[in-house]
Amino acid sequence: MTESSVFAAPWDQKITIITVLVSLLILTSSAIVVWMVLYGVRSAAIRALMLFGATVALAALAGAVLLAPRRYAIKDDRVVIERAVCPVEIPIASIRAVEPLSPGSLSGSLRVLGSGGLFGYFGRFRNQALGDYRMYATRGDGYVLVRADRSYVLTPEAPDRFIEAVNRARRPHAGGGAL
């Protein structure tokens, strides 16, 4: 299969507000720390500690920018969660099911490692209904569950069209039967 379908990953209002506010907070506080280190704090140990804290905060912000889902694509023999670095690839042959997922299915989820709103919800999560899963979401609705070797929760624009496109790509791998 050489067909390629691309689906946007639009942000909802909540993600936009969280991202803008947290980014401004990190950037502003880091600038204040640098100013204090240059002009206000005399102790070398305190300056080093302050710079370390600012560096960690800026690294977290950069990590979120680089690892956030940007769009979803169905390319050749895989579903790709496109990010600035380290795209996530799910082989079509490994997909057992793709289906809409109600937001209530995510209730009680614990974030194991990842972002809980800064540039999206992405990383490793766990809850009683789904078990361990990877989420690459940019809004609080339109969830799609992809069951493969792992479970993935995505939020492509036009979830129904995304599900149809994945199922179309799966047909050759599923013996040509309807899914």
Residues with Cβ within 8 Å of residue 168, at least 6 apart in sequence: none
Residues with Cβ within 8 Å of residue 24, at least 6 apart in sequence: none
pLDDT band at 103 (very low <50, low <70, confident <90, very high): confident
Q: Give CA–CA dist 81/138, Å, rounded.
A: 12
| Least reliable range by pLDDT among 8-17, 65-74, 101-110 | 101-110
Check whether 164 has a pLDDT greater than 90.
Answer: yes
Q: What residues are paired with 39 via a beta bridge? A: none
Share of the chain above pLDDT 70, in %: 94
Q: Give CA–CA dist 159/113, Å, rounded.
A: 25
Check whether 116 has a pLDDT greater than 80.
Answer: yes
Check whether 179 has a pLDDT greater than 60.
Answer: no
Q: Give CA–CA dist 141/90, Å, rounded.
A: 22
Torsion, Cα of 148, 152, 153, 154 (10° steps): -90
- For the beta carbon of residue 54, count every other beta carbon within 10 angstroms: 19
Asked if 23 contacts 37 with a C-beta cutoff of 8 angstroms, the reply is no
Per-residue pLDDT, averaged over 170-176, amounts to 64
| Least reliable range by pLDDT among 57-61, 105-109, 142-146 | 105-109
- Residue-wise pLDDT tens digits, 21-77: 999 999 999 999 999 999 988 899 999 999 999 999 999 999 999 999 999 999 989
| Least reliable range by pLDDT among 17-31, 100-114, 164-178 | 164-178
What was the pLDDT predicted at 1? Answer: 40
Q: What ranges in the chain are assigned the alpha helix state H?
A: 13-39, 44-67, 159-170
Residues with Cβ within 8 Å of residue 43, at least 6 apart in sequence: none
Question: How high does pLDDT run on average in the chain?
Answer: 92
What was the pLDDT predicted at 176? Answer: 47
Per-residue pLDDT, averaged over 126-132, amounts to 94
Q: What is the largest CA-CA distance in the chain?
A: 72
What was the pLDDT predicted at 37? Answer: 92
Q: Give CA–CA dist 179/172, Å, rounded.
A: 11
